[in-house]
Amino acid sequence: MTDIVTIDCHYVLPQVAAAYLIRAGQSACFIDNNTNHAVPSLLAALTTAGYKPEDVTHIIITHVHLDHAGATGLLLSKCPNAVVVAHPRAAPHVINPTRLVESAKAVYGAEAFTKLYGEILPVPEARVYIPADGETLQVGDRELKFIYTRGHANHHFVILDQKSKSIFTGDSFGIAYPLLQHGSRPFLFPSTSPTDFDAGEARISYDKVLASGAERAYPTHFGAWNDIAAGYKMLMVAMDEIENLFNEIKGSDLEGDAAYKFTFSGFRRFFDRELAVRGIQLSAEEQTVLDMDIDLNAQGLAFAAQRARKKSKATG
Ligand SMILES: [Zn+2]
């Protein structure tokens, strides 16, 4: 049995969001946990891998966005010996999720929020561990190294498993849905979702993943990505286009909805073209998933560009 188990969290559709289970000798650990709705699948995967909830020593979250960390409190309540491992900027939000819930409701709308996530349970502070940037943690028979990565979110780190040369990248090394992988032209694209997106930092994060020596990346969306160098190139090229859009907004006087419409049509063009060159035809359902990303990417990029414009005006 493989030591890294990809668990389909059935977030909106199959193969959209994963959580990972690492088998580490006597211990097991989870990386990301999606939402409360995924907990039965997480525990079933644990059983299949030959572990009990008592064997889980670490519940690691790449960052605190709710499609990654929404089940942290509930999952911890099922795993009596586990600690939550989180970035210093993520930890306060797992301990007290109130603000996180409020801001997610602002992005998704209250009704959609409740349907997607249910109730977010807080985590006792005593059960949270915050690794430093570059720190290595012993988890069972493995050493996991934590590398802080900004660009997608300021509360993000990636996790390098030295033994399997695997790196768990959350949203710091793009999104790669299986439904978009097509023959010899696989497709990895950047996430620019609100509110921390920063193109320069995103590029630094791609550099860190490339330099880590890992042979395989595990983005949360979704499953193993086997060619890190090719993925790196794809992300860098896409980021050029995204920065062009960013600069157009920043240099314009577009605000609010007008700015969003501009970035939305930019991302729409990008995806239409990239799907066409791969000969990918999406079903209506699959298009809905991609539309969520186009919407979030457009929101995040429009927000970042307007913020940058304000900042440059303020500093003259
Ligand atoms: Zn995210």
Looking at the structure, tell me whether residues 175 and 295 fall in a common domain: no
Quick: pLDDT tens for 226-239.
999 999 999 999 99
| CATH code assigned at 160 | 3.60.15.10
Q: Is residue 238 part of a domain?
A: no
Distance 311 CA to ligand 1 centre (A): 24
- Quote the pLDDT of residue 103: 85
Looking at the structure, tell me whether residues 169 and 262 fall in a common domain: no
Looking at the structure, tell me whether residues 224 and 274 fall in a common domain: no
Q: Is residue 237 part of a domain?
A: no
Distance 153 CA to ligand 1 centre (A): 7
Looking at the structure, tell me whether residues 8 and 139 fall in a common domain: yes
Is the pLDDT score of 2 beyond 90? no
Looking at the structure, tell me whether residues 18 and 126 fall in a common domain: yes
Quick: pLDDT tens for 266-313.
999 999 999 999 999 999 989 998 999 999 999 999 999 999 999 998
Q: Return residues with CB closer than 5 A to ligand 1 (ion).
A: 65, 171
Q: Is residue 285 part of a domain?
A: yes
Distance 253 CA to ligand 1 centre (A): 28
Distances in Å between the Cα of 258 and the Cα atoms of 39, 164, 184, 195, 299 are 40, 47, 38, 18, 11
C-alpha span between 89 and 301 (Å, rounded):
21
Q: How many CB atoms lie within 10 A of CB 57?
A: 19
- Quote the pLDDT of residue 280: 92
Is the pLDDT score of 129 beyond 80? yes
Angle at 225 between CA 220 and CA 227, to 5 degrees: 150
Split into its structural domains, the chain has a count of: 2
Looking at the structure, tell me whether residues 96 and 214 fall in a common domain: yes
Distance 281 CA to ligand 1 centre (A): 26
Full residue range of the structural domain in which residue 308 is found: 250-314
